Amino acid sequence: MYQLIGAVLCGWLLLAGVVLAADEQIVVELTGSGSRTTRPFTVKDGWEVRWTTTNELSLFLIDAQGQPLEALGHSMGDAGGATYYAKGGTYSLRIASNAHWTVTVVQLP
């Protein structure tokens, strides 16, 4: 029974495009559609944002004061990507999209 549950969970993670190394930690994982700004999250130095989308998606990094810092990524069509960010801190993400998407913030070891 436990093997079946493990196999289903592993398959789901692979389908979601989120495969973690043993010591990576998920900080934020969101699934939705359309545009939104995430709640603030805090990360240490060395983190990554990963995404998948069924159409156009743009990601922007927002600082703790609500000011835009930089674009983290852009995808067209059924695609995905990842962007490494070296500096830790408290941030939000602005997700601009017209489609279904999954966005995951991962703290790297």
Residue with tokens 């991962």: 106
- Residue 6's CB is within 10 A of a number of other CB atoms, namely 10
Gap between the Cα atoms of 99 and 109, Å rounded: 31
Domain positions in the chain are: 21-107
Q: What's the fold here for domain 21-107?
A: Jelly Rolls (2.60.120)
Q: What is the pLDDT of residues 4-60, one digit of tens each?
A: 444 433 444 444 445 667 789 999 999 999 999 999 999 999 999 999 999 999 999
What does pTM read for this prediction?
0.78
* Residue range 59-102, pLDDT digits in tens: 999 999 999 999 999 999 899 999 999 999 999 999 999 999 99
